[in-house]
Amino acid sequence: METKTAGAGRFTDFDLNAVPSPCFVIDTQKIAENLATLAAIQNKADVRILLALKAFSLWSVADMISGSLSGCCASGLWEARLARQYYGGILSTFSPAYKQSELDTLCSLSDHLIANSPAQLQNMIQIALAHQTQTGLRLNPGLVLGEVDMYDPSAPGSRLGMPLDQFERFVAKGGMADIDGLHMHSLCEQGYQPLAALVEQIRPALDMASGAFSWLNLGGGHMLTHPDYDTASLTALLTELAETYQAQIYLEPGTAIAFDAGILVGEILDVIDNDGAVAITDISATCHMPDVLEAPYRPALLGEAEAGVEVALGGPSCLAGDRIGSYQFADRPQAGQRIAFLDQAHYSMVKTTSFNGVMLPSIALWDSQADSLNIIRQFDYEDFRGRLS
């Protein structure tokens, strides 16, 4: 899987020694720029854009996000609680299955509660009605569009959403009577063309259910803030969908909000030789950037040299596979030298663990325009100890 970063941007001028190591540094100016792009799309297409908390849930910038977007989408009870505590606007919640004991609270928090199956829908419907919470049903388009099967909700055998052939039978039997909207999600950090293909795939199902749903949620995975995204075609498509089906259209991007807005700063601890130079860093792929191993992908290194010494970078954990990748350095790096990986705000911060007791990265907010830096969180032993008892 290829990194999607558009480059270092203002982080080229950031002093890596100004923060503890390791540390996530989030540029609030870049967040603001991304939000401005998304707000413009909302206005032009009359679409509602929700932040996917599963990708980026740094609530210290919640006020910025709430001022630009229409709300949030949550993946379960704790994200729903976080959304209601810190963010404004609409809250849409989807989980592959819900605990019956949590449904009353989820309905009290959520504006939309989306079921993964008719059985889940029946479990929630009476509670949702009591709270005046709108209900939705997730569809599985069955169109494989992702680069990695693990991240593709439409891959064969997926547990996510009702396959289209089952949905057509569901509609024919009057199943839409209990549903306010439809939801689907098949993209992963992709541009306009995969979305267009997705829409064409689901059109027959939408036509069959036309008039029976008041909103259509096209999920996330839309790289709306990438410089190459075709926003003109997107606006035209979303406008057409809203008019054709007389439905409010929703998008749930996560990466797009924090795209290229954060780096992960680290430090080289040691350099050894084993079939070439191997540097051990205080950044761990398994603890701090698990997508590096799961996707897998090679994160871009800030200021990587075009030629020089090739160095394999890896983390401090005991996992033999805690490898980040091989990079070019102008000279052999030294212990104490700072490095940083680009585009690490989304799907890194939310996935960190303290396996092996590896230290969690600190978090810093940087206003690149004013060059002001605020370290908002540092983790200590008590955070590690408190995970278990």
Do 9-25+261-385 and 46-258 agree at the fold level?
A: no
pLDDT digit string, tens, across residues 54-63: 999 999 999 9
CA R_g for the chain: 22
> CA-to-CA distance for 350 and 32, rounded, in angstroms?
20
CATH superfamily of 9-25+261-385: Lyase, Ornithine Decarboxylase; Chain A, domain 1 (2.40.37.10)
Q: Determine if residue 250 is left, alpha or beta; phi over 0 gives left, psi from -120 to 50 gives alpha, anything else beta.
A: beta
- For residue 12, the tally of other CB atoms under 10 A from its CB is 9
**pLDDT top residue among 81 and 153:** 81
Is the link from the previous residue into 22 a cis peptide, with omega within 30 of 0? yes
Residue 32, classified by CB atoms within 10 Å of its CB into exposed (0-12), middle (13-18) or buried (19+), is middle
Return the CATH class of domain 46-258. Answer: alpha beta
pLDDT digit string, tens, across residues 173-229: 999 999 999 999 999 999 999 999 999 999 999 999 999 999 999 999 999 999 999
148 — pLDDT class (breaks 50, 70, 90): confident
- For residue 356, the tally of other CB atoms under 10 A from its CB is 15
As given in the structure block, the two tokens for residue 60 are 């210290």
pLDDT digit string, tens, across residues 267-306: 999 999 999 999 999 999 999 999 999 999 999 999 999 9
Whether 45 has a pLDDT exceeding 80, the answer reads: yes
Q: Determine if residue 303 is left, alpha or beta; phi over 0 gives left, psi from -120 to 50 gives alpha, anything else beta.
A: left
pTM over 0.85: yes
1 — pLDDT class (breaks 50, 70, 90): confident
> CA-to-CA distance for 155 and 152, rounded, in angstroms?
5
Whether 170 has a pLDDT exceeding 90, the answer reads: yes
Domain boundaries along the sequence of the chain: 9-25+261-385, 46-258
